[in-house]
Amino acid sequence: NAGVTQTPKFRILKIGQSMTLQCAQDMNHNYMYWYRQDPGMGLKLIYYSVGAGITDKGEVPNGYNVSRSTTEDFPLRLELAAPSQTSVYFCASSYPEMNSPLHFGNGTRLTVT
Amino acid sequence: ILNVEQSPQSLHVQEGDSTNFTCSFPSSNFYALHWYRWETAKSPEALFVMTLNGDEKKKGRISATLNTKEGYSYLYIKGSQPEDSATYLCAFFYNQGGKLIFGQGTELSVKP
């Protein structure tokens, strides 16, 4: 199993550009999450999904969109990138039980200049 | 407001010291609490998942306790080693719908 795969690993965007961060998992996990790493703030939840066709907002959803058309994939779309979106983005997945730990991808480091 | 608070924010100890940190969460409607270990330049890895009041979990020199009625969990490291240096995160399930919120983490540095 590859686990949780995030692409790209690094990206530099200009202000106003758009991009999609890809996340795929091969563990048949129902739950998938997008977090961003803010210095001194741990991980902030952007969006999450409990299954194909179901998504919900987290703590910091503004400026982002998601879709979940399959169990395996959970892409995160940035529209009109802003410097405040410079961060490391982590995708994670788990089985649909609250006692099931998250499995994280390796992260995508995004810089918006 | 979704409040998961961790203290202290950072901790510097000598090799061999024992240490502990706190995770505070809302005491109403408890579902589950997770602890993760996050080394620099890596991804977080799960340490413990705790679901019952009074739960105690142990993995080697690291252990955790849970008090759901008062809304806190403690993580203990006995005899800290330099390889224990990492950020320790707790995460709280806010509902049965999968919303998992992290605290800001405790950064531990263990000096040889």
pLDDT at B3 over 90: no
pLDDT at residue B28, rounded to an integer:
84
Which whole number is the average pLDDT over A34-57? 93
pLDDT at B9 over 60: yes
Tell me what the pLDDT averaged over chain A comes to: 95
A2 or A30: whose pLDDT is higher? Answer: A30
CA dist., res. A87 & res. A110, Å (int): 6
Residue in chain A lying closest to B49 (CA): A99
Residue the block writes with tokens 């977080």: B44
Write out pLDDT tens, residues A91-100. Answer: 999 998 888 9
pLDDT at residue B82, rounded to an integer:
97
pLDDT over 70, % of chain B: 98
pLDDT at residue B1, rounded to an integer:
53
Closest partner residue to A99 among B49, B101, B102, by Cβ? B49
Residue B30 pLDDT grade (very low, low, confident, very high; cuts 50, 70, 90): confident
CA dist., res. A67 & res. A18, Å (int): 16
Write out pLDDT tens, residues A63-80. Answer: 999 999 999 999 999 999
* Cis peptide leading into residue B8 (ω within 30°): yes
Q: What angle do CA B34, B38, B40 make, to 5 degrees?
A: 170
pLDDT at A55 over 80: yes
Q: Indicate yes or no: CB of A48 within 8 angstroms of CB of B98.
A: yes
pLDDT over 70, % of chain A: 100
The string over B10-25, giving b where at least 16 C-beta atoms fall within 10 Å of a residue's C-beta and e elsewhere, is ebebeeeeebebebbb
pLDDT at residue A98, rounded to an integer:
81
- Picking from B34, B57, B92, B102 by the largest number of A CB atoms within 10 A of its own CB, the best residue to mutate is B102
pLDDT at residue B42, rounded to an integer:
93
pLDDT at B20 over 90: yes
| Tokens representing residue A40 in the block | 């001194």
Q: Indicate yes or no: CB of B103 within 8 angstroms of CB of A31.
A: no
Q: Indicate yes or no: CB of A98 within 8 angstroms of CB of B45.
A: no
